Structure 1
C-alpha cells in the first residue's frame, strides 16, 4: 500500500559516468534543491577510515550504507519545493540485483510504499562522456548493465521512466524541466 508520495521529488538515475552528477550540480547552481549521490561519499568515508563497506570489498555492506543514507535523504526531503535526487533509494535494489545479492521483501515493499514523483529521468549509456576514476571503477559495459537494471527496476516499481537525450547539459536540463 502506498503510504507516501513526494510529488516534488525527482530521481535522476542511470549507469555510472553518464552525466547524472553534472546535471545535479547544474540544477543546484540554477537554484534548485538537489540531493547528491551517497555512493561516492560512502566510498570516500570508507577509504578515509579503512572501512570495508566498499563496492570492491563488501558489496552488501556498501549497499546497506547507501540504502540508509538514500532513504534518510528521501524521508527528510522538503516536499514543498522541486528537489532533484542523484539516484533514489530504489537504485540500491538495482545495485543488489546487479551484484546477484539478495533483495529483501522489506526493501521492495519500502520502495513500493514510499514514492518519488512518477517521472524518473534516466541517463542512457553515452560512451563519449564516460570515464573511470578512483571511485568509479566500472567498465563501460558494466555501466550499460546498470542502466538496463535501473530502467527495468523503476518500470517494475510503476514509475514512468523518461530517457534523457544525448545532448549538452543545458539542453538536458531544459528537457527535464519541460517534463516535470
Structure 2
C-alpha cells in the first residue's frame, strides 16, 4: 500500500520524536510495536521481552506489525515507527528462519523507507530500550541491507531538528506519487 510509510533505522535515532511531530501535523502515526510489547510485558510481569525471551518478543512484534498494517487508514499518509520488515529482519537474525524473502512481494509499504542514522549525541537507554549503541548500530547496518534487498528505496534522514526532518519527509513524499 503506497500510503504506508516506514520510518526505521537506528534505535535512539529520533524516530519516536519524529513520529510525534508528524502526528502533530495531522498524519496518522503508528507507534513502534516493540515499545508497546515491552511496556505491556513490564506492566504485566510477562517474559516476551528482548532480554528475557527474544524469540517470543519478535514473534509478537511481527504479529503486531501485521495487525497495525491491516488497521491503517486507506487514504492519506500513514507513518509507522518501524514495522513488519524490522521485526522479520530481527527474527531472521535470531533464528535463521527465512522470513524476509516472502516480504519482497507481500505486505508492502510505500517504496521509500526513511532511516534514522546512528546519532550518539541523542542516544539514550530507558526501561523499554536497554541495549547499547553498538547493538543499535549493528541493527542499523543490517536494515541498510535488508530494505534495498526487498526492493525498497532507502532515504537516510539528515541529523537535523525534528521539524526539519518532518519537512524533509514531506518534501520527499511530495516528489513521490501521492497516496
Same fold per superposition (TM over 0.5) = yes
Q: CA deviation at 1:111?
A: 5.1
Q: Match of 2:23, SS?
A: helix
The gaps in structure 2 that reach 5 residues or longer are: 174-179
Q: CA deviation at 1:52?
A: 1.0
Q: Which residues of 2 match residues 129-148 of structure 1 at below 5 A?
A: 129-148=122-141
- The aligned counterpart of 1:71 is 66
**CA–CA separation in structure 2 for the residues paired with 1:8 and 1:57:** 35
1:156 aligns with 2:149: yes
Partner residue of 2:11 out of 12, 16, 41: 16
Aligned residue pair count: 173
Q: Contact 2:3 / 2:74 at 8 angstroms: preserved in 1? A: yes
Q: CA deviation at 1:110?
A: 4.0
The gaps in structure 1 that reach 5 residues or longer are: 1-5
1:39 aligns with 2:29: no
**CA–CA separation in structure 2 for the residues paired with 1:29 and 1:166:** 20
Q: CA deviation at 1:8?
A: 0.8
Cα distance, 1:151–1:24 mapped onto 2, change above 3 Å: same
Deviations along 1:110-147, one digit per CA (max 9) or x if unpaired, are: 45312111000000001111011111111111111111
**CA–CA separation in structure 2 for the residues paired with 1:15 and 1:50:** 27
- The aligned counterpart of 2:118 is 125
1:101 aligns with 2:84: no
Q: Contact 1:121 / 1:161 at 8 angstroms: preserved in 2? A: yes
For the aligned residue pairs, the C-alpha RMSD in angstroms reads 1.3
- The aligned counterpart of 1:3 is none
**CA–CA separation in structure 1 for the residues paired with 2:96 and 2:44:** 27
Runs of 4 or more consecutive aligned structure 1 residues displaced over 4 Å after TM superposition: none
